[in-house]
């Protein structure tokens, strides 16, 4: 009897699992860096030795056993994208369980939350005693955000040239930059160029922070702090080893990180085209222009409110307002002050910025600027159509008119996103184990901050607080929101439909 052939359209698990094994195992091998650092400073390597061995087994096993497994199809690549984020979050539990001190993420659920927040570059934390944790563990914590910021699926496209068509589907779940394919004839070469920009920006931030520390302009900024903060700045992650975030390092560091945050929130492809290809006209980008306009308006509102309310003097109002606007809008989540104590207008402005995000092709989360702009243009088009029903008005971006399918997709995404934020806030509020004093505003901010990969919210989850008071079921739910937000909703929803698994 001849072997049974696979029916066309059937989703096969082996190709997807091979991608997951290689990416999770490969990313897990980077835990060798904090292990070496622990050896160098005479610290325990217990938290890293077992995960490193597990990552090596997983990577080598997927590499050797999967040689005969065919490249994934589009649907299998989509499945691999979702499973990769879940797999990394589960892998990242081990270092926290094995190496956390008092007030850390030693419990499995807490470790899962912290790991997910790291790899999704969210910046939400359940650690209440950051200074009690070892430096190697804090390096790993920052490193997970740097890896997650560039996108594990981006790395898969680089190192798995056999992905073929499926590689395009993988990359679209990570980097929505419309110019990515134009950097080079092939997807893999384009992706490598994006990673090169990401690495170069990281090196520049590390160098700048170390220079400020050595010049005496940044108290406490040593090499470890510089690397940890560069990793979590460029990735728009926001994990700081310090309980007061960026506040203790002074104005010079805060301004440098604010500039780096703004740059990291742009489409990284623009920088490659402008610098490497010597095409400065690439910065004449519709999305980039609106990104700077929205950020500029938010800065003016915050600075004015802080100064007029007497919260700070003029110079400090400018620094605090600009920094927090950039940090929250890009989803970095760093803080230079406990902004949860600011006025209602300032908090409302920051809350709205949680939904915006940065540009497509950046490591930021939330809606992304282009979706916000297009959704706004749809609203104005409908208003004009009500007044002049016979007129046909096209929605354009970058000199191109968009078809109705693209516009419909943007509107549906925005509505789904907003609905998930509200549903998430309600579910947190009705949880029997919710933190004492949690109100709807705080619950809504926690939901928006996790699905938008921002991190801090208001109230108990403010910039100087943590998510530790939430119940275990709420922490799992919030962790899933982080993954859904990082994958931009649709890949997860598609997997939940019967049509995905049928022919």
When pLDDT is cut at 50, 70 and 90, the band that residue 185 belongs to is low
What does the block give as tokens for 458?
């208001």
Distance CA 381, CA 474 (A): 40
Q: Which helix (H) or strand (E) holds 25?
A: helix 13-28
User: For residues 209 and 254, is the Cβ–Cβ distance under 8 A?
Assistant: no
User: For residues 336 and 257, is the Cβ–Cβ distance under 8 A?
Assistant: no
User: For residues 459 and 439, is the Cβ–Cβ distance under 8 A?
Assistant: yes
| pLDDT exceeds cutoff 60 at 334 | yes
> How far is the first Cα of the chain from the last one, in angstroms, to the nearest whole number?
24
For residue 406, give Cα distances in angstroms to 84, 249, 382, 402, 416: 27, 45, 16, 6, 15
| Higher pLDDT among residues 398 and 341, named by residue | 341
pLDDT digits (tens, 9 = 90+) for 255-284: 999 999 999 999 888 888 888 878 888 788
Question: What's the average model confidence in pLDDT over 173-184?
Answer: 44
Q: Which residues contact 22 (CB under 8 A, 6 or more apart)?
A: 59, 62, 63, 66, 156, 159, 160
What does the block give as tokens for 442?
């705080």
3-state secondary structure of 400: strand
Distance CA 83, CA 218 (A): 41
| pLDDT exceeds cutoff 90 at 427 | yes
Listed residue (93, 125, 142) closest to 468, CA to CA = 125
3-state secondary structure of 385: helix
Distance CA 470, CA 457 (A): 14
pLDDT value of residue 156: 55
| pLDDT exceeds cutoff 60 at 4 | no
- Lowest-pLDDT range of 2-11, 81-90, 238-247: 2-11
pLDDT value of residue 164: 43
Q: Which helix (H) or strand (E) holds 401?
A: strand 400-401
User: For residues 110 and 96, is the Cβ–Cβ distance under 8 A?
Assistant: yes
User: For residues 333 and 316, is the Cβ–Cβ distance under 8 A?
Assistant: no
When pLDDT is cut at 50, 70 and 90, the band that residue 171 belongs to is very low
3-state secondary structure of 397: strand
Distance CA 471, CA 428 (A): 9
pLDDT value of residue 291: 95
| Higher pLDDT among residues 16 and 402, named by residue | 16
pLDDT value of residue 2: 43
When pLDDT is cut at 50, 70 and 90, the band that residue 165 belongs to is very low
pLDDT value of residue 446: 94
The secondary structure of residue 312, as a DSSP letter, is S
User: Crossing angle for the helix pair 135-150 and 223-234, nearest 10 degrees?
Assistant: 30
Listed residue (84, 70, 31) closest to 53, CA to CA = 31
| pLDDT exceeds cutoff 50 at 232 | yes
H helix count then E strand count, the chain:
22, 2
pLDDT digits (tens, 9 = 90+) for 59-71: 998 888 766 777 7
Question: Which neighbouring-strand residues pair with 396?
Answer: 401
Distance CA 122, CA 449 (A): 8
| pLDDT exceeds cutoff 50 at 167 | no
Angle at 172 between CA 72 and CA 6, to 5 degrees: 20
Q: Which residues contact 160 (CB under 8 A, 6 or more apart)?
A: 19, 22, 167
How many C-beta neighbours within 10 Å does residue 393 have?
12
Question: Which neighbouring-strand residues pair with 400?
Answer: 397
**Percent of the chain at pLDDT exceeding 90:** 54
When pLDDT is cut at 50, 70 and 90, the band that residue 19 belongs to is confident
Q: Which residues contact 403 (CB under 8 A, 6 or more apart)?
A: none
For residue 92, give Cα distances in angstroms to 28, 39, 119, 125, 175: 8, 20, 8, 14, 23
When pLDDT is cut at 50, 70 and 90, the band that residue 9 belongs to is low
pLDDT digits (tens, 9 = 90+) for 473-496: 999 999 999 999 988 888 888 888
Question: What's the average model confidence in pLDDT over 389-412?
Answer: 77
For the chain, the average pLDDT equals 86
When pLDDT is cut at 50, 70 and 90, the band that residue 157 belongs to is low
């Amino acid at each position: 009897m001849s072997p049974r052939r696979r029916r066309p359209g059937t989703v096969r698990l082996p190709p997807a699992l091979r991608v997951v094994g290689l990416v999770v195992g490969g990313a897990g091998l980077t835990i060798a860096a904090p292990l070496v650092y622990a050896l160098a400073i005479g610290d325990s390597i217990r938290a890293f030795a077992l995960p490193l061995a597990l990552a090596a087994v997983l990577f080598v096993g997927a590499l050797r056993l999967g040689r005969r497994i065919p490249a994934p199809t589009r649907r299998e690549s989509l499945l691999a994208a979702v499973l990769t984020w879940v797999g990394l979050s589960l892998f990242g539990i081990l270092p926290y369980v094995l190496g956390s001190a008092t007030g850390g993420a030693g419990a499995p659920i807490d470790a899962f939350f912290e790991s997910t927040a790291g790899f999704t570059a969210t910046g939400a934390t359940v650690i209440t005693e950051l200074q009690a944790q070892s430096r190697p563990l804090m390096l790993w914590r920052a490193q997970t955000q740097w890896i997650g910021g560039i996108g594990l699926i981006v790395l898969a496209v680089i190192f798995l040239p056999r992905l073929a068509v499926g590689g395009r589907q993988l990359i679209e779940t990570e980097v929505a930059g419309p110019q990515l394919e134009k950097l080079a004839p092939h997807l893999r070469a384009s992706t490598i160029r994006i990673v090169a920009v990401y690495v170069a920006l990281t090196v520049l931030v590390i160098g700048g922070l170390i220079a400020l520390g050595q010049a005496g302009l940044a108290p406490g900024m040593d090499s470890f702090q510089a690397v940890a903060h560069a990793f979590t700045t460029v990735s728009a992650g926001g994990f700081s080893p310090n309980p007061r975030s960026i506040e203790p390092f002074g104005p010079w560091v805060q301004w440098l990180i604010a500039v780096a945050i703004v740059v990291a929130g742009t489409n990284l492809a623009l920088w490659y085209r402008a610098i490497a290809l010597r095409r400065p006209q690439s910065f004449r980008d519709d999305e980039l222009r609106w990104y700077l306009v929205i950020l500029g308006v938010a800065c003016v509102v915050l600075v004015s409110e802080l100064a007029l309310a007497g919260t700070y003097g003029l110079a400090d109002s400018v620094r605090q307002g600009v920094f927090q606007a950039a940090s929250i809008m890009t989803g970095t989540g760093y803080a230079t002050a406990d902004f949860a104590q600011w006025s209602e207008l300032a908090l409302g402005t920051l809350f709205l910025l949680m939904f915006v995000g940065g540009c497509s092709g950046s490591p930021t989360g939330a809606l992304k600027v282009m979706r916000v702009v297009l959704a706004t243009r749809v609203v104005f088009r409908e208003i004009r159509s009500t007044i002049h029903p016979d007129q046909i008005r096209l929605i354009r971006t970058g000199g191109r008119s968009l078809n109705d399918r693209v516009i419909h997709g943007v509107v549906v995404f925005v509505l789904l996103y907003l609905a998930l934020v509200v549903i998430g806030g309600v579910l947190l509020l009705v949880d029997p184990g919710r933190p004492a004093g949690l109100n709807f505003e705080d619950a809504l901010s926690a939901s928006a901050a996790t699905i938008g990969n921002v991190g801090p919210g208001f109230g108990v989850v403010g910039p100087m607080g943590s998510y530790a008071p939430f119940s275990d079921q709420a922490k799992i739910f919030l962790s899933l929101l982080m993954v859904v937000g990082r994958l931009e909703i649709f890949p997860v929803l598609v997997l939940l439909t019967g049509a995905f698994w049928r022919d």
